Amino acid sequence: MKNQKSSFTKEMIAILGKDYGESTEIMSQVEDLLKEKAHSLYSDLIYTLTHLHFSEAQARQHWEKILKHKQQMGQKLGRNVGVRVALMDYFTNLHHKIENPKIIELDVFEKTLLSAITDGLTGLYNHRYFQDRLEEELERSQRYGQPTALMLIDLDDFKRYNDANGHIAGDVLLADISKILRKTVRKVDVVARYGGEEFAVILPATKKKGALIIANRLCQKTAASRFPNQEIMPRKAMTVSIGLAVYPDDAKDKAKLIDMADKALYHAKKAGKNQVYHYGDA
């Protein structure tokens, strides 16, 4: 069976947190949210709630049976039954997939989930989540005929700052840069730590023009911010270089899009740093 992706959303957690079997509206919201996800919606849902691995086809069959079991339990008990109760009974007593069931509070589960998809130092999404999310966004782009822009961002001369000020100061700098990134991009954008001093931003439904506006704003805000002992840097300030590529204009798949953004980043660094470079302008 395929490895499952930790892409269950906060929205789903919030919805299930309100489910005590009292309203059909809750299940309607669950189904609506499932329809918005990519190819792994049912397997992600069941894995998130039970940590059981199923293929998407198997998971969908189980989900339909769980909803039927929920209705049957309600009729036998003479009261409404929440989907989490029905799901636990289904896998514990009917299919014996769970030997020692435990009730996990959703806020605790949310923290566990977030720790699996976020970077401990910066609080941004981690590299694995970035890869999964980019794949989902490109599938959405293909479905609806919308572009997706990708930015790869590198902190200029970070090694120099790190060597001069120490690793702790370097970590603080990375965390501060992360805050600037989050405040500058839109809520719909996905900001991740790509690795080391490199970051990535996925911009859904965004053309080249809009992406360039956001990227240049990031450069300007970073250069205008103040950081401890930044006077030792070549420009007396901390700066970033940004490589930009847009799907499907610059690339037709995920690997190529990342490669094009990386090549654009290389051009931005080579041209003098502290600037944005779009791959299509090469």
Q: Are both 95 and 189 inside the same structural domain?
A: no
Query: Does the residue 5 lie in any domain?
Result: no
Active site (annotated) includes residue 56: no
Q: Are both 86 and 199 inside the same structural domain?
A: no
DSSP state of 4: P
Q: Are both 225 and 113 inside the same structural domain?
A: no
DSSP state of 248: T
Which residue among the candidates 136, 137, 197, 198 is catalytic per the annotation?
197
Q: Higher pLDDT residue, 21 or 63?
A: 63
Q: Are both 100 and 192 inside the same structural domain?
A: no
Residue 173 carries which side chain, given as an amino acid letter?
L
Q: Are both 51 and 137 inside the same structural domain?
A: no
Q: Are both 14 and 104 inside the same structural domain?
A: yes
Q: Are both 113 and 142 inside the same structural domain?
A: no
How confident is the model at residue 252, as a pLDDT?
94
Q: Is the pLDDT of residue 100 over 80?
A: no
Q: Are both 95 and 136 inside the same structural domain?
A: no
Q: Are both 107 and 177 inside the same structural domain?
A: no
Q: Is the pLDDT of residue 17 over 90?
A: no
Reading the block at residue 75, the tokens are 């009729």
pTM of the predicted protein model: 0.66
Q: Higher pLDDT residue, 52 or 212?
A: 212
pLDDT by residue (tens digit) across 188-238?
899 999 999 999 999 999 999 999 999 999 999 999 999 999 999 999 999
Structurally, the chain folds into a number of domains equal to: 2
Q: Are both 140 and 259 inside the same structural domain?
A: yes
Q: Are both 186 and 267 inside the same structural domain?
A: yes
| Range in 97-101, 160-164, 172-176, 224-228 the model is least confident about | 97-101
Long-range own/partner contacts, residues 11-16 (CB < 8 A, 24 or more apart): 12/45, 12/48, 13/106, 13/109, 13/110, 13/113, 16/49, 16/83, 16/84, 16/106
Under 8 Å CB-to-CB from 127, ≥6 apart: which residues? 192, 193, 194, 195
Domain that holds residue 166: 127-281
In CATH, what number is assigned to the domain containing residue 142? 3.30.70.270
Q: Is the pLDDT of residue 265 over 60?
A: yes
Query: Does the residue 188 lie in any domain?
Result: yes
| Range in 6-10, 210-214, 239-243 the model is least confident about | 6-10
